[in-house]
Amino acid sequence: MDGFRGLLYTLARLGLMLLLDMFGMFCGGVLFPGLASLIPASSGTGADKSGQVTVTGVKAFFTDPIVGSVIGFIVMTAILVWIFYDDGKKHAAYEEWSWENIIIILIVMLMAAFVPSIFRESFKESTAMTVFYNAFYYPLSWLCDGVGTGLTRSYREAAAGIGLPYTIGVLVGNGLQLLICFGAYVGSFRLYVKRHPVILKAMAASDEDDEEDEDGSYDEEV
């Protein structure tokens, strides 16, 4: 993969991750709770810490915003993994496979997702930015202690998730997703090469030709 194609691939995957963030938010925050609301409420009741009576049971569980966040995370991760698995197969078939390039691309994706989280403190009084952060990081809200579990949730509300610090939760969540993607990419390549051994020989021959060209250029310069 040359530099220009690598740049296009990186930008495409960055855009894909952004779209999947929004799609995960839609699935976990809108679609899944909407479907879960059709489930009849259980007859059991309970009381929260303030003493108010709350409905418990299956419906209450599936309409919990934290559960919706987990659903969004799973949906987003599954699609990303499938895409990188397919990328690994295609790159092997076209002899463009490179684990070094894919690591660099995944690091760029991780930084692009992580950097905005650093500045959340600066925008905590802004309603518009609260909506942005709550939507953009919705699939990770189950990990964090300050990420909104609803689009209009106040910054000051306590979270009900695992409770990791905001930036740590974002780094851990996206890092886990991209680590699985890397495993899928490498695993796809290995499976494809196992079925088509000629690909590996062709790639090795190509590397040898590149080395010979470099040696020849060096000799001419000398």
Is residue 132 classed exposed, middle or buried when 0-12, 13-18 and 19+ CB atoms within 10 A define those classes? middle
CB crowding 179-195: b at 16 or more within 10 Å, else e: eebbebbbebbeebbee
The answer for residues whose C-beta is within 8 angstroms of residue 202's C-beta and 6 or more apart is 95
Q: CB–CB of 149/161 below 8 Å?
A: yes
Are 35 and 84 contacting, i.e. CB atoms less than 8 angstroms apart?
no
Number of domains in the chain: 1
Summarize pLDDT for 6-59 with one digit per residue, the tens. 888 889 999 999 999 999 989 988 888 888 777 766 544 444 455 444 545 667
Instruction: Report, as an integer, the average pLDDT of 184-210.
Output: 72
Q: Is a pLDDT exceeding 90 seen at residue 214? A: no
Per-residue confidence band for 218, with pLDDT thresholds at 50, 70 and 90: very low
Q: Which of 172, 193, 191, 171 is nearest to 183 (CA)?
A: 191
pLDDT band of 150, cuts 50, 70, 90 = very low
Largest Cα–Cα separation, the chain: 86
Range of the domain at 139: 3-221
Cite the DSSP H helix spans in 152-196. 166-195
pLDDT of residue 171: 93
Whether pLDDT at 219 is above 80 = no
What does the pLDDT read at residue 149?
44
CA dihedral 46, 52, 55, 58 (to 10 degrees): -70
Residue 92 host element (H or E): helix 65-93
What tokens does 92 get? Answer: 């092997």
pLDDT for the residue 6 = 80
Contact 174, 110 (CB under 8 A): yes
95-145 pLDDT tens trace? 776 778 899 999 999 999 999 989 887 887 777 888 888 888 889 888 885
Distance CA 179, CA 186 (A): 11
pTM here? 0.78
Banded model confidence at residue 152, pLDDT cuts 50, 70, 90: very low
* Calpha distance 9→102 (Å, rounded): 10
pLDDT of residue 173: 94
